[in-house]
Amino acid sequence: MSLETHFSDRLVARIQQIESRLVVGIDPRLDRLPAEISADDPEQALSRLGEGVIEAVAQHAAAVKPQVAFFERHGWRGWRALETVCAAAARAGIPVILDAKRGDIGSTAEAYAEALLGDEPGTLGCHVDALTVNPYLGSDSLEPFLVRVRDHGKGIFVLARTSNPGGAEFQCRDDDAVPIFEQVARSAERWGQDSLGECGFHGVGLVVGATYPDDITRVRQAAPGSILLIPGVGAQGGSIEDLAAAFDDSGLGAVVNSSRGIVQAFEQDPERPWQEMVQEAARDKQLALQGVSSAG
Amino acid sequence: MSLETHFSDRLVARIQQIESRLVVGIDPRLDRLPAEISADDPEQALSRLGEGVIEAVAQHAAAVKPQVAFFERHGWRGWRALETVCAAAARAGIPVILDAKRGDIGSTAEAYAEALLGDEPGTLGCHVDALTVNPYLGSDSLEPFLVRVRDHGKGIFVLARTSNPGGAEFQCRDDDAVPIFEQVARSAERWGQDSLGECGFHGVGLVVGATYPDDITRVRQAAPGSILLIPGVGAQGGSIEDLAAAFDDSGLGAVVNSSRGIVQAFEQDPERPWQEMVQEAARDKQLALQGVSSAG
């Protein structure tokens, strides 16, 4: 993967090349494996599932988003599987958005940036294009990640408005003149100015749940240069129709995540080859998202 | 480690038994190792440093706090070293506060709780007593961790007011009627009611930086039952004298973290045995903290 270019330009090029705004979330669970994959060896099971999903969605996913928790769940062997899966995606030319939601300060934030967005052999960062981060600790806590965005062509997606029912509790309080999520979005627009790509977007994206369409509009207005990463479509209740405000009139500006709806698609028909089912689910979602743009 | 008891009771018993309110943060860096430990094999270096620190501080630390980032920094081998270090602390009978600052939603939060506060063999959780967590995603995002606090004798420390210069940006905004960090503290008092120990404290602690003494007072008032975990003394500029408000008149209610000041203490005299230097630094800090209480 070339890091000479801005992350935003690489992602937008990929979106246009395969005509997909779909991010496939990889959240592997050992209790929900295809019959062909045994859970006896957790590391091998996680690796085989992840690699199989990547192969199946290679022409349909603008990016893949491995969820670190489901690998961490299996200790160091899970971490080794995570490295295998991220490397497989990188080899297939699919951008990797690592969903780790890290956030810390000072030398600890620097260590996370080295670990997950760096380029040292033996670290995950070599295979990762972008990382999800948590803004609660403030601008200075994000600086080590922003250095990788500005100078090394990496991207981050900052949590703004999350898709869960309790997301408003701190992010969007009734009495706040400016809710925190909107302040985060405004800040992201500022943080991103040094990584503006030729595509018109920068490397500091934002996570905004599909479950709160009005807040997508507010985030879009506060951060016109951020690429939005939108979870919460499907199982969590968000609908594709409600996402128009996230996109510009060329249909750019956001990617939409689907995890279980794709990775677990094989459960619908155990008689058919599992990767075929995953591929079909990804293609269906890819096509459904092709119609979405702010031009209606 | 017995999980029949509440985390707060185990921690308070340990504080009283060895007369220490000190938490030793384990943030190992391969570029700052004692001469006796080679950096050639990162996993072995991290393990040997961590185990050596644990041995040196065993009579001086109320708890140890391994910082996950410094292990993640070295990929899956780093994770295996982290498991070695946490297991060594558990074997030595020292409570382990895992500093991971995790925060996510739904099944992902559940996976983190299983990974880091669970009891399944092969996971870190078996060796961990308490975990630092990020509240940005709201109450429901913490529920999987709170189950472990209520039902399995584990603890969490929720980020409230962090010690970094930018901590106020979202946690403590000028125009907010109730700053977020204070709302988090009030919430923690509510979240903790089901895990109230005989010691009078519950299992939902709070992280509050030593660098903002006035805010320690506000957190203490908002969450009288929370044990406070206080970083930021020393290198970051906080002083022990400013911490009195964190403690009750018996000198209970808080633990104070020191990382580099102890783990890197050997750098002050390369001629002496490194563990002896670490032990001395821990004992000095332990003694300095014995005088602190709200009784003045």
pLDDT in tens, A152-166: 999 999 999 999 999
Instruction: Tell me chain B's radius of gyration from C-alpha atoms.
Output: 18
Nearest residue of A to residue B187 by CA position? A169
Give the helix/strand (H/E) hosting B83.
Answer: helix B75-91
CA-wise closest residue to B275 among B33, B83, B65: B33
pTM: 0.97
Single-letter code of the amino acid located at B16: Q
Non-local CB neighbours of A189 within 8 Å, separated by 6+ positions: A204, A222, A223, A224, A225, A226
Output the six-digit token pair for A198: 């030729």
**Is A103 near chain B, with CB under 8 Å?**
yes
User: What CATH number has the domain bearing residue A209?
Assistant: 3.20.20.70
Chain A residues 72-101 within an 8 A CB cutoff of chain B: 72-80, 82-83, 99, 101
Domain that holds residue A79: 7-290
Give the helix/strand (H/E) hosting B26.
Answer: strand B22-26
**Is A263 near chain B, with CB under 8 Å?**
no
Number of domains in chain A: 1
pLDDT in tens, A219-245: 999 999 999 999 988 777 778 888 999
Strands B130-133 and B155-161: parallel
Highest-confidence segment of A178-182, B1-5, B211-215: A178-182
CA-wise closest residue to B23 among B72, B96, B84: B96
CA-wise closest residue to B202 among B246, B146, B250: B146
Within a domain: A1: no
Residues facing residue B290 across a β-bridge: none
Confidence at residue A2, expressed as pLDDT on a 0 to 100 scale: 44
Cα(A294)–Cα(A21) distance, rounded to whole angstroms? 14
> Does residue A282 carry a pLDDT above 80?
yes
| Inter-chain touch B122–A77, beta carbons under 8 Å | yes
Cα(A44)–Cα(A254) distance, rounded to whole angstroms? 33
Q: Is A65 a catalytic residue?
A: no
Please answer whether residues B67 and B102 qualify as being in contact, where contact means their C-beta atoms are separated by less than 8 angstroms.
Answer: no
Length of chain B: 296
What does residue A229 show for φ and ψ, rounded to 5 degrees?
-110, 115
State the pLDDT confidence band at A296, using cuts at 50, 70 and 90. low
Mean pLDDT (whole number) for A160-185 = 96
Chain A residues 8-27 within an 8 A CB cutoff of chain B: 27
CA-wise closest residue to A138 among B163, B259, B215: B163
The predicted complex's ipTM stands at: 0.96
State the pLDDT confidence band at B205, using cuts at 50, 70 and 90. very high
Within a domain: B1: no
Cα Dmax for chain A:
55
**Is B283 near chain A, with CB under 8 Å?**
no
pLDDT in tens, B220-270: 999 999 999 999 887 777 788 889 999 999 999 999 999 999 999 999 999
B71–chain A nearest CA distance, Å? 9
What does residue B97 show for φ and ψ, rounded to 5 degrees?
-100, 110
State the pLDDT confidence band at B2, using cuts at 50, 70 and 90. very low
The torsion of the CA quartet A198, A202, A205, A211, rounded to 10 degrees, works out to -60
pLDDT in tens, A61-112: 999 999 999 999 999 999 999 999 999 999 999 999 999 999 999 999 999 9
CA-wise closest residue to B161 among B98, B202, B206: B206
Strands A155-161 and A228-230: unpaired
> Does residue B79 carry a pLDDT above 70?
yes
Confidence at residue B236, expressed as pLDDT on a 0 to 100 scale: 75
**Is B67 near chain A, with CB under 8 Å?**
yes
Confidence at residue B1, expressed as pLDDT on a 0 to 100 scale: 41
pLDDT in tens, B121-171: 989 999 999 999 999 999 999 999 999 999 999 999 999 999 999 999 999
Non-local CB neighbours of A221 within 8 Å, separated by 6+ positions: none
Cα(B183)–Cα(A13) distance, rounded to whole angstroms? 43
Q: Say which DSSP state B212 is in.
A: -
| Inter-chain touch A75–B83, beta carbons under 8 Å | yes
Within a domain: B2: no
Please answer whether residues B51 and B278 qualify as being in contact, where contact means their C-beta atoms are separated by less than 8 angstroms.
Answer: no
Q: Is A177 exposed, middle or buried (0-12, 13-18, 19+ CB in 10 A)?
A: exposed
Please answer whether residues B166 and A139 qualify as being in contact, where contact means their C-beta atoms are separated by less than 8 angstroms.
Answer: yes
